[in-house]
């Protein structure tokens, strides 16, 4: 009995240390994937709780941090899957652009976070993990449960799409400045 | 926009979020205080097959009983069938 209690206490202490090391990164990842501030913190908390509920498996994993990132990605994907919100947001994104183009007082027509939300989930996740969090292709693949080849291709396509979207922004800003 | 600038903007966008430590910790601690999800699922629903059969048999018996009693009640107990007809006189 005493051994079990001591073991549970050790688990809790270990988990707390893991929480303090990783909560900020997980919340930031959730923020870039969801685009929502409050939801990001809730997703990070839910991911931490999911990790606690399978703590034995997490601590035994070769890459607990990658596992944790994967849990966040899955929670976000579940959150947006099956809802029309994502599609509506993309539609709203495209619909908003001409209005902003006509208003030279609005400085940034499309910022990088808005542009990210226009990407399909897997491309977004690859771009975010690779370039916002500087993870290697291998670590990104580990977190998302996909092959390194998929990470390479999805990241390249995602970056090209972002550049195109933000290139349009630069052109729009330039046009607004000239007016 | 070149790729280097895009990467810089992505990193800045990631750092721009200031997670609310207290809020996240409180949510996690609330969850840790509750039983694990497997426990929360509770007892699996009971199989209904046996009970359904029992119910069907009971209903059938009840209906049969009501119909039987109704039939008895409609038949007067003293209304016995008439006895054999009076012996007819033998012909001629």
Residues A105-156: tens digit of each pLDDT? 444 446 899 999 999 999 999 999 999 999 999 999 999 999 999 999 999 9
Place of tokens 């750092």: B15
Computed over its alpha carbons, how large is the radius of gyration of chain A?
20
CB contact under 8 A, A45 and B15: no
* Contact in structure between B24 and A44 (CB atoms under 8 Å): yes
Q: Which of A20, A35, A60 is nearest to A114 (CA)?
A: A35
Give the tokens for residue B54: 């029992």
Give the tokens for residue A10: 């050790």
**Whole-model pTM?**
0.67
What would the pLDDT profile of B31-83 be if each residue is shown by its tens digit? 999 877 654 433 333 444 445 566 777 778 888 887 777 777 766 555 555 55
CB contact under 8 A, B1 and A52: no
Chain A residues closer than 8 Å to B36 by CB? 53
Cβ partners under 8 Å of residue A176, min gap 6: A101, A104
A13 touches chain B (CB under 8 A): no
For residue B48, the model assigns a pLDDT of 43
DSSP tag of A131: I
* Contact in structure between A117 and A90 (CB atoms under 8 Å): yes
């Amino acid at each position: 009995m005493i051994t079990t209690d001591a073991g549970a206490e050790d688990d809790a202490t270990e988990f707390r240390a893991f929480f303090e090391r990783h909560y900020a990164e997980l919340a930031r990842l959730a923020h870039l994937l969801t685009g929502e501030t409050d939801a990001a913190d809730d997703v990070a908390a839910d991911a931490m709780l999911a990790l606690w509920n399978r703590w034995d498996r997490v601590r035994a994993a070769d890459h607990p941090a990658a596992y944790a990132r994967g849990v966040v990605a899955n929670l976000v994907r579940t959150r947006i899957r099956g809802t029309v919100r994502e599609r509506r947001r993309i539609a709203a994104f495209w619909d908003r652009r001409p209005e902003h183009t006509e208003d030279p007082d609005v400085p940034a027509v499309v910022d990088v976070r808005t542009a990210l939300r226009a990407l399909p989930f897997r491309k977004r996740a690859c771009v975010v993990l690779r370039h916002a969090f500087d993870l290697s292709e291998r670590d990104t693949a580990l977190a998302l449960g996909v092959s390194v080849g998929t990470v390479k291709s999805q990241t390249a396509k995602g970056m090209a799409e972002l550049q195109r979207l933000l290139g349009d922004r630069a052109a729009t800003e330039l046009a607004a400045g000239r007016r | 926009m070149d790729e280097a600038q895009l990467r810089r903007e992505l990193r800045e966008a990631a750092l721009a979020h200031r997670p609310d430590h207290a809020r996240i910790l409180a949510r996690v601690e609330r969850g840790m205080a509750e039983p694990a999800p497997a426990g929360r699922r509770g007892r699996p629903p009971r199989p209904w097959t046996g009970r359904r059969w029992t119910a069907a048999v009971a209903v059938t018996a009840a209906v049969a009983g009501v119909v039987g009693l109704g039939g008895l009640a409609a038949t007067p107990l003293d209304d016995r069938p008439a006895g054999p007809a009076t012996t007819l006189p033998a012909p001629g």
